[in-house]
């Protein structure tokens, strides 16, 4: 018979507990010291592998926390606290003092006396000239032709080396209300100058993410000649209001609802997304939409008073890339 001393049993129990803990650690994954940094690993492959492990660990922890919160909410039922609203750049936006109030008398007076007042008073009808930079390539030419099918009463002409300052007086004499110039770089459209006639203003946009009709999947048939409806979304500041009115005056007053076509200018974080759709009523509650194309994104670079004048023009607003007070949460449109 072997006698066991009373002080030996706890040691064995402690050893078993330590073994269980090490097993748990090995199952859960590598345990890093609090001051550990992946950048300290000199070997590139090991550093990348360790980074992926850490990333996967964080993802698992996040998922477990999410499941735990879901269980707690289910257990509490109606007494559960309201869900937290996720932080986005949109809802964290810094309030802009120039945000337009539709009922403001000053805004109404400015709208009644600005350059677009004749259009909104139905005294003029839009007529648009679309042209390009010198020697445009195929993609830019096709982009102009497709824009002309979106904007009614639009005509495409090629400049053949003629200066824009000489083009504008000719357009005014022939009754055009807009000159639209598509610029390109390395055979890709990258800029748009939109000049309202005869008194301006002139807006310069950066163009990106251009997709023509043939490049789009599941697109509808080519658009008809019906006048489309226009949606201007989220142009809330004074500057945004001016840009919205600039786009609105491109299209005739009365849309033809028979065509069921919609041109949308959607502003989000100072990027203006253009889409052209046809809608189809499936029943009383459901509506289907087909994108017709083209699609592109605009970013405002400058807004100039009067018609185009690169040397002596007076600018209302210019985009500054390196402002001291710039912030990801501050937007201008």
pLDDT in tens, 146-202: 999 999 999 999 888 888 889 999 999 999 999 999 999 988 999 999 999 998 899
CATH architecture of the domain 102-325 equals 3-Layer(aba) Sandwich (3.40)
Using CA atoms, how far residue 182 sits from 132, 195, 274, in Å, is: 5, 12, 15
Q: Which residues of 44-67 are buried (b: 16+ CB within 10 A; e: fewer)?
A: eeeeeebeeeeeeeeeeeeeeeee
Q: Judge contact between 213 and 222, C-beta under 8 A.
A: yes
Residue pLDDT, tens place only, 26-85 = 444 556 666 778 888 889 999 999 999 999 999 999 999 999 988 988 888 888 888 888
270: number of Cβ within 10 Å: 15
- Whether the per-residue pLDDT at 11 is higher than 50: the answer is no
- Whether the per-residue pLDDT at 21 is higher than 80: the answer is no
Extents of the domains making up the chain:
42-79, 102-325
Q: Residue holding tokens 């992926």?
A: 52
- Separation CA 141–CA 135 (nearest Å): 10
Which residues, at least 6 apart from 223, have a Cβ–Cβ distance to it below 8 Å?
149, 150, 259, 261, 276, 278, 292
């Amino acid at each position: 018979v072997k006698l066991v001393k009373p002080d030996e049993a706890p040691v064995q129990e402690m050893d078993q507990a330590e073994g269980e803990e090490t097993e748990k650690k090995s199952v859960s994954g590598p345990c890093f010291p609090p001051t550990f940094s992946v950048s300290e690993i000199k070997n590139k492959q090991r550093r990348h592998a360790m980074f992926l492990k850490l990333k996967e660990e964080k993802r698992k922890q996040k998922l477990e926390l999410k499941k735990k919160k879901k269980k707690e909410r289910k257990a509490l039922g109606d007494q559960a606290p309201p869900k937290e609203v996720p932080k986005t750049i949109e809802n964290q936006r810094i309030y802009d003092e120039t945000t337009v109030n539709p009922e403001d008398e000053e805004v109404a007076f400015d709208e009644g006396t600005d350059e677009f007042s004749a259009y909104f008073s139905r005294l003029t009808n839009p007529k648009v000239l679309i042209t390009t930079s010198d020697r445009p390539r195929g993609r830019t030419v096709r982009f102009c032709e497709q824009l002309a099918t979106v904007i009614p009463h639009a005509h495409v002409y090629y400049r053949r080396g003629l200066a824009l300052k000489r083009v504008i007086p000719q357009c005014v004499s022939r009754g055009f209300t807009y000159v639209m110039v598509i610029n390109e770089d390395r055979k890709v459209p990258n800029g748009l100058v939109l000049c309202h006639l005869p008194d301006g203003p002139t807006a310069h946009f950066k163009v990106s993410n251009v997709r023509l009709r043939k490049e789009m999947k599941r697109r509808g048939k080519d658009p008809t000649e019906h006048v489309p409806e226009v949606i201007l979304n989220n142009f809330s500041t004074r500057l945004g209001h001016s840009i919205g009115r600039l786009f609105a005056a491109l299209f005739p007053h009365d849309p033809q609802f028979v065509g069921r076509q919609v041109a949308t200018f959607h502003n989000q974080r100072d990027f203006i997304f253009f889409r052209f759709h046809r809608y189809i009523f499936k029943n009383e509650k459901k509506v289907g939409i087909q994108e017709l194309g083209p699609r592109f994104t605009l970013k405002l670079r400058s807004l100039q008073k009067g018609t185009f004048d690169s040397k002596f023009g007076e600018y209302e607003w210019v985009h500054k890339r390196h402002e001291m007070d710039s912030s990801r949460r501050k937007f201008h449109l």
